[in-house]
Amino acid sequence: MNYLVLLIAIGWSVYKRLSPVENLGHLTEVQLRAKTENKLENVREAHEFRSGHIPGAVNIP
């Protein structure tokens, strides 16, 4: 009986981890900026940041 409960619990956990998230859409950069007032922090090395980054991102090496 204990194995059955354990098997059901493991099965449910796997199901919840692998099932898709509902109501999750895609945002463009413009839409994201309009919805948030957060800043984007880039934690790459300075030379990597200089090679390319999202406009408005702040580098914190």
Mean pLDDT by 10 residues, the chain (61 residues): 89 89 82 80 93 92 83
Query: pLDDT digit string (tens) for 29-39?
Result: 888 778 877 78
Q: What string of DSSP letters covers the chain?
A: -HHHHHHHHHHHHHHHHHSPPTT-----HHHHHHH-----EE-S-HHHHHH---TT-EE--
Per-residue confidence (pLDDT) for residue 57, from 0 to 100: 92
Per-residue confidence (pLDDT) for residue 1, from 0 to 100: 75
Per-residue confidence (pLDDT) for residue 22, from 0 to 100: 79
Per-residue confidence (pLDDT) for residue 13, from 0 to 100: 92
